[in-house]
Amino acid sequence: MINPKKILIAGAVLLISLTCVFYINHQLNKPEKSEVTGGKKNMNNKEKSEQEKAESYVEEMKPKIEEELRKEDIHHFIKSVTFEDKVNINPMGRIVVNGYINDNPDKFDFSADLIYDSNKVDGISYSQDVSDRFRDWSEYSKEVKDKYIKTAYPDKKEREQYLKDIGEMK
């Protein structure tokens, strides 16, 4: 015959075991605490640490970004490089930092693309004005060069400034 005491004890052990399993499962799957940032945007702790890691990585990579820009600057146009404070992580996981050259964010801006822990600049894009100042005119005829400069810079002062920037006018 079945002993009612054994059934009662087995039921109690089963009930306690199930309670423990549910509690442990709840603790393991509990969402991280959120905090409100200055912009009233919710950001959980994991995201914040990823953002902080990206910002720290950008600080390490700023000299390499500047070095890459200066490699392209065959006319020695760059006097200063300024980085914006905002660092973005795009949906592909790449870190994007923006900046500008020679204290002119409206005209001489750039964007650098980094892959976390690759220790290299994955890519840099820059405005047309920056691209023009990096152009190697030795590959073009004088006529092509003159025609392009007059078309791109119809204003005489802008054209003169461009020629100064590429070292052809003082």
pTM score, whole prediction: 0.69
SS3 letters across 138-163: HHCCHHHHHHHHHHHCCCHHHHHHHH
Query: Do 98 and 155 share a structural domain?
Result: no
Query: Do 103 and 147 share a structural domain?
Result: no
Query: Do 147 and 118 share a structural domain?
Result: no
pLDDT of res. 53: 93
pLDDT of res. 6: 73
Question: Of the candidates 82, 80, 76, which has an alpha carbon nearest to the alpha carbon of residue 97?
Answer: 82
24 domain residue, yes or no? no
16 domain residue, yes or no? no
Query: Do 112 and 140 share a structural domain?
Result: no
Q: Which SS3 state, helix, strand or coil, does residue 116 take?
A: coil
Domain extent at residue 158: 135-170
Which pLDDT tens digit goes with each residue over 31-47? 555 444 554 455 555 55
105 domain residue, yes or no? yes
Q: How many domains does the chain have?
A: 2
